[in-house]
């Protein structure tokens, strides 16, 4: 049963520290999405990759957030420096596009980040 994996599952850090979250998409999926879930904003897209190339990161604060796909099996989301308002659950999702469309996005278990 193929699944998206995310590490760490929980992270507590102090303001100003760098945070790196990792995602392993389902084997064979060529699209990766990063979402953030907070009580106030709900679920919102941060970044989107297809074939490892970033296609849309308009939802991501550029000054402190960065997303990369070093290879097809790893996507990373970094926050430097972290702030308390970054506290949220960060979800990675992957999918396989058929033509130009990704029909289903399968979500990982999320990383719960707390910045104190």
Partner 1 sequence: AQKVTQAQTEISVVEKEDVTLDCVYETRDTTYYLFWYKQPPSGELVFLIRRNSFDEQNEISGRYSWNFQKSTSSFNFTITASQVVDSAVYFCALSEARGAQKLVFGQGTRLTINP
Is residue 101 within the footprint of partner 1 (CB under 8 A)? yes
Q: In what order do the strands lie in the sheet with 74-79?
A: 5-7, 19-24, 74-79, 65-71
Decide if 41 contacts 64 (C-beta within 8 A).
no
- Give, as one character, the DSSP assignment of residue 63: T
Q: Is 15 among the residues that bind partner 1 (CB under 8 A)?
A: no
* Binding-site member from 74, 81, 89, 96 for partner 1 (CB under 8 A): 89
- What span, in angstroms and rounded, lies between the C-alpha atoms of 62 and 58? 8
Nearest to partner 1 of 63, 104 (CB atom): 104
In this structure, the number of other CB atoms found within 10 A of the CB of residue 95 comes to 20
Q: Which of 23, 32, 102, 113 binds partner 1 (CB under 8 A)?
A: 102
Give yes or no for residue 43 binding partner 1 (CB under 8 A).
Answer: yes
Kindly list the residues in this chain that would bind partner 1 in the complex (CB under 8 A): 33, 35, 42-45, 48, 55-56, 59, 89, 91, 93, 100-110, 112
């Amino acid at each position: 049963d193929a699944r998206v994996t995310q590490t760490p599952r929980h992270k507590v850090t102090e303001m100003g520290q760098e945070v790196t979250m990792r995602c392993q998409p389902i084997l064979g999926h060529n699209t990766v999405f990063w979402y953030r879930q907070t009580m106030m904003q709900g679920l919102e897209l941060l970044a989107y990759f297809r074939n490892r190339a970033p296609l849309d990161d308009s939802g991501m604060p550029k000054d402190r957030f960065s997303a990369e796909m070093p290879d097809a099996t790893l996507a990373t989301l970094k926050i430097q420096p972290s702030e308390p308002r970054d506290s949220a659950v960060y979800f990675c999702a992957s999918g396989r596009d058929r033509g130009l469309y990704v029909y289903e996005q399968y979500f990982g278990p999320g990383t719960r980040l707390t910045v104190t």
